[in-house]
Amino acid sequence: MPETQQKHGEIIISVENLEHSYKDFKAVDGISFSVKKGEIFSFLGPNGAGKSTAINILITLLAKQKGTASVAGFDVTRDPQKVRESIGIVFQDITLDRDMTVWEILEFHGRLYNMPFEQRRKRIEELLNLVELAAKRDERTKHLSGGMKRRLEIARGLMTRPKVLFLDEPTIGLDPQTRLRMWEYIKGVNSEGTTIFLTTHYMDEADQLSDRISIIDHGRIVISGKPWELKNTLGRDLIYLETNNNEAAVRFLKDLPSIRNMKVKSKGFVLMVNEDGSKVLPLIIDTLRNAGIEISTINLKKPSMDDVFVFYTGREIRDEGHAKTSFRRAGGR
Amino acid sequence: MPYGFTTIYWRDMIRFVRFKTLLVSSLLQPALWLAFFGIAMSSSFDKLITGLPVVPGVHMIGYLTFMGAGIIAMTTLFTSLFGGIVILFDKNWGLMREILASPMNRNHIIFGIGLSGVTKSFIQAIIIMVFGILIGAAFFSGFTAVQTVVGVFGILAFVGMFALGFLFLSAAIAISMESPEGLQGVITLLTMPIFFASNALYPIDSFPAFLKILSVYNPMTLLITGIRYFAIGPDFIALGKHYQYTQSDILMAYFGLVVFATLTFGLAYWRFRKAVVT
C-alpha cells in the first residue's frame, strides 16, 4: 500500500509512559503510543477507562504528571501555547452557548484564535457549507437538533485549520442515522489532510472510522493496531458451541491443529480458528460425537471489534454511561 | 495577542443585550431604589434636619442628593460583584474549556469581563444621574457646562476603577467556586459590610472607632467621596455635617481604588493560573 505509506509518514502525536492520578486513583497508568500525520487514530474503551484524562492532557487542559507528550511537534508542558494553536477540539459534551447564534459561535472561536477578519469571514462561509448549516446561521444554538449542534462543533473545531482535530466521543447520544452522517463528515475532513484523534466507546465507530485503534482499559493500552489486524489476532473465524458437557468438550478440542485459542463463556465456549471455519466445523462435530458429547447450539461468525474487545479486556463494554448521557440530553431539552 | 479581551467583551455584551429581562431589570433596579428608598428617606430626613445650624455661604444639600451618590455606588457594587458569575456558568456548562484550550492569554478573560462590567456600570450610573436629577436630586447644581462635563467624567472614572476592583474579585471567586449557590452566598456575605460600613446612606463620623476605621478604608467610601466631589462640589453640608474635600483628598481616594483593583487583579491572576477546568 504505497499510498497509505506516503499518507502515514511523519509522527504528529507522540506519548510515552504517560501517567495521571486523581488522589490515589490512577486514571492513566503509563500509556505510550504515537499517531502519524493524516491518520484517524482511536482510543476505544469503556467510560472511566482514562480516555478523557489522556485527551485532556494532550489538549493542555490538564497538567501532565509523568511521562512525555507532544502534539504537532510541541511538548504539552513546555510549549502549551503552540500546541493550542495547532489543534481543534470537539468536547465530549455539547459546549455551545445556547444563546449565541451559529454564526456568532464560529466568529467567537475565530477571534479567540486571533484569526484576521477577512480570513474569519471566509472560513465561516466555507464551514457553514461543509456542515450544511448555512441556512441556520442566525439561529440560536438552543434551537438546533442534536446532530446540528455536533456538526456546528465540528465546524468550530476546524475553524482554525488545525493540524490535529481531537474528537472526544463525537457521536455520543446521537441517533443511528445522524451517527452515520457524522462519520461521513469526519472521513471527509480527514481526507483533506487533518489528522484525527478520536475517543469512543462504540465498537462499530472505532472499526469503521479508524486507521488504527488502541484499546484502553483501566488506564492502560491493552492492544493497538489496524482494525483488521486486531480482528485477525482472534483468528479467521469464531465458532461458538454449547454442549451437554462443556468441560469435556474443551478438553477434546483443544489439541485440534486449526484451533488457535478458546474462551469459556457462561453457557458455552468460543473457538478461534486459523482456517475457514466452515471447513473446520465437520471435524469438530465428528470429534465431539466420537467422544459421546451432544451439541445443542453451534454458531459460526467472523470476529468483530466487540469480540476483540471482550477478548482483550475480559468483559463486555459497559454502556450505562451512554444511556445516562442520552437521558440527560433528552431531559435538558 | 493584545486584543483578546475584546472577544470576551463582545460575547458578554451580546449576552447582556440578549437577555431582555436581565437587561431591563438591571437598568430599572437602580432607578427604583432612588425612587422609593430615596424619596421615602429624604422626606423624613429633610424634616429632621430642619433647624440644624447652617454655616453661612456653604451650600446645603437635601438627603436625596446625598444618598444619590450612595445609590450609584451601591448599584456599581452589586453589578460588579455579580459580574463574574458568567465565568462560573461557563465553567459549569463546559464553555470555559473552549476558552482555556485556546491560545488566548488567561488575563484577557479577566480584562474582558472587567471591561463589560465597567460598561454596564457606566450605563447604570448615567441612568441614576439622569433619573436623580429628574426627581429632584441637586447633582451638578450651580456648575458651569465645563464643570458638569468634568463632573460626569470624574464620576465615571471613579465608578470604572471601583467596578474593576470588584469585578476582578468576583472573577477570582467565580473561577474558584463550583456552584452558583455558593457564589451567591459569598457575594451576599461580602455586600453587607461593604455597603453598610460606608458613607453611602449616612455620615461615618459618629461610628464607633473600629467601624470607623473599616469605613474610612472601605473602597465604597472612597468611591462615594469621589462621586460627591464631582456631583456636588468640594464644600457642602448634608445631614447637618459639613463636608470639605481638597483635591489631594480626591486623588488619595482614587489612588486607594487603584490599589484595591491592583490587589484584586493579582488575586484573579493567581486563581486563573490555578484553575483546572476539564
Facing residue for B14 by CB, picked from A52, A62, A104 = A104
Decide if A61 and B102 are in contact by the 8 Å CB cutoff. no
Residue B46 exposure: Cα atoms within 13 Å on the Cβ side: 15
For residues A197 and A184, what is the distance between their CA atoms, to the nearest angstrom?
A: 16
Decide if A61 and B4 are in contact by the 8 Å CB cutoff. no
Decide if B278 and A100 are in contact by the 8 Å CB cutoff. no
For residues A176 and A191, what is the distance between their CA atoms, to the nearest angstrom?
A: 23
Cell numbers at B195, concatenated:
455597603
Residue A331 lies in a domain: no
How many structural domains are present in chain A? 2
Distance from CA of B6 to the nearest CA of A (A): 9
Strand partners, A140: A101
Residue A321 lies in a domain: no
Facing residue for A89 by CB, picked from B7, B18, B101 = B101
At A167, the pLDDT band (50, 70, 90 cuts) reads very high
Q: Would the pLDDT of A329 be above 60?
A: no
Length of chain B (residues) = 278
Domain boundaries, chain B: 4-274
Residue A318 lies in a domain: no
Decide if A91 and B98 are in contact by the 8 Å CB cutoff. yes
Choose one of A230, A262, A288: the last residue of a domain.
A230
B278 touching A, CB under 8 A? Answer: yes
Q: Would the pLDDT of B56 be above 90?
A: no
For residues A213 and A193, what is the distance between their CA atoms, to the nearest angstrom?
A: 19
**How confident is the model at residue B51, as a pLDDT?**
66
B126 touching A, CB under 8 A? Answer: no
Chain A CB contacts of B106 under 8 Å are none
Interface residue of B102, B116, B273 to substitute, partner A, most A CBs within 10 Å: B102
* pLDDT tens digits, A230-288: 988 888 889 999 999 888 888 888 888 888 888 888 888 888 888 888 888 898 898 88
Residues 6+ apart with CB under 8 A from A8: A36, A37, A38, A39, A211
**How confident is the model at residue A6, as a pLDDT?**
46
Query: What's the ipTM?
Result: 0.87
Phi then psi dihedrals of residue B78, to 5 deg: -65, -50
How many contacts, defined by CB atoms under 8 Å, are there between A and B?
67
B95 touching A, CB under 8 A? Answer: yes
Distance from CA of A153 to the nearest CA of B (A): 11
The neighbour count for residue B57, using CB atoms within 10 Å, is 6
Q: Are residues A115 and A207 in the same domain?
A: yes
Cell numbers at B177, concatenated:
467556586
Decide if B97 and A62 are in contact by the 8 Å CB cutoff. no
Cell numbers at B146, concatenated:
465645563
Q: Are residues A249 and A217 in the same domain?
A: no
Residue A135 exposure: Cα atoms within 13 Å on the Cβ side: 3
Q: Report the share of chain A in percent with pLDDT over 90.
A: 47
Q: Are residues A156 and A36 in the same domain?
A: yes
Q: Quick one: which H or E segment has residue B237?
A: strand B235-238
At A324, the pLDDT band (50, 70, 90 cuts) reads very low
> Which range has the top average pLDDT, A147-151, A259-263, B26-30?
A147-151
Strand partners, A241: A269, A298
Strand partners, B255: none
For residues A165 and A111, what is the distance between their CA atoms, to the nearest angstrom?
A: 18
Give the dihedral of Cα atoms B209, B214, B218, B220; nearest 10 deg.
-60
B22 touching A, CB under 8 A? Answer: no
Q: Span B142-147, mean pLDDT? A: 90
Q: Quick one: which H or E segment has residue B243?
A: strand B241-244
CB A144 within 8 A of CB A152: yes
Residue A330 lies in a domain: no
Q: Are residues A268 and A163 in the same domain?
A: no
* Longest CA pairwise span in chain A (Å): 80
Q: Span A167-188, mean pLDDT? A: 87
Closest C-alpha to A186, from A90, A58, A82: A90
Q: Are residues A36 and A128 in the same domain?
A: yes
Distance from CA of B83 to the nearest CA of A (A): 17
Distance from CA of B95 to the nearest CA of A (A): 5
Choose one of A230, A257, A274: the last residue of a domain.
A230
Residue B23 exposure: Cα atoms within 13 Å on the Cβ side: 10
- Scanning every residue of chain A, which has its alpha carbon at the shortest distance from the alpha carbon of B278? A61
CB A178 within 8 A of CB A87: no
Q: Are residues A109 and A252 in the same domain?
A: no
Q: Would the pLDDT of A196 be above 90?
A: yes
Chain A CB contacts of B277 under 8 Å are 61
Chain A CB contacts of B101 under 8 Å are 59-61, 84, 87, 89
* Longest CA pairwise span in chain B (Å): 66
CB A250 within 8 A of CB A81: no
Residue at grid coordinates 510549549: A79
Q: Are residues A172 and A255 in the same domain?
A: no
For residue A251, the enclosing domain spans 235-302
B93 touching A, CB under 8 A? Answer: yes
Decide if A56 and B278 are in contact by the 8 Å CB cutoff. yes
Q: Are residues A182 and A153 in the same domain?
A: yes
Q: Are residues A35 and A162 in the same domain?
A: yes
CB A39 within 8 A of CB A195: yes
Decide if B104 and A95 are in contact by the 8 Å CB cutoff. no
Interface residue of B3, B5, B6, B7 to substitute, partner A, most A CBs within 10 Å: B7
CB A219 within 8 A of CB A26: yes
Closest C-alpha to B169, from B226, B114, B106: B114
Decide if B103 and A81 are in contact by the 8 Å CB cutoff. yes
Choose one of A213, A230, A247: the last residue of a domain.
A230
For residues B177 and B158, what is the distance between their CA atoms, to the nearest angstrom?
A: 29
Q: Are residues A152 and A199 in the same domain?
A: yes
Distance from CA of A56 to the nearest CA of B (A): 7
**How confident is the model at residue B268, as a pLDDT?**
96
Interface residue of A114, A138, A142 to substitute, partner B, most B CBs within 10 Å: A114
B1 touching A, CB under 8 A? Answer: yes
Distance from CA of B128 to the nearest CA of A (A): 29
CATH number at residue A258: 3.30.70.920
Facing residue for A113 by CB, picked from B94, B95, B102 = B102
HEC secondary structure over chain A: CHHHHHHCCCEEEEEEEEEEEECCEEEEEEEEEEEECCCEEEEECCCCCCHHHHHHHHCCCCCCCEEEEEECCEECCCCHHHHHHHEEEECCCCCCCCCCEHHHHHHHHHHHCCCCHHHHHHHHHHHHHHCCCHHHCCCEHHHCCHHHHHHHHHHHHHCCCCCEEEEECCCCCCCHHHHHHHHHHHHHHHHCCCEEEEEECCHHHHHHHCCEEEEEECCEEEEEECHHHHHHCCCCEEEEEEECCHHHHHHHHCCCCCEEEEEECCCCEEEEECCCHHHHHHHHHHHHHHCCCCEEEEEEECCCHHHHHHHHHCCCCCCHHHHHHHHHHHHHC
Residue A109 lies in a domain: yes
DSSP state of B1: -
* pLDDT tens digits, B198-252: 988 888 888 888 888 889 999 999 999 999 999 998 888 888 788 889 999 999 9
CATH number at residue A69: 3.40.50.300
B104 touching A, CB under 8 A? Answer: yes
B189 touching A, CB under 8 A? Answer: no
Cell numbers at A216, concatenated:
484502553
Cell numbers at B86, concatenated:
458568567
Q: Are residues A278 and A191 in the same domain?
A: no
- Scanning every residue of chain A, which has its alpha carbon at the shortest distance from the alpha carbon of B6? A111
Q: Are residues A252 and A152 in the same domain?
A: no
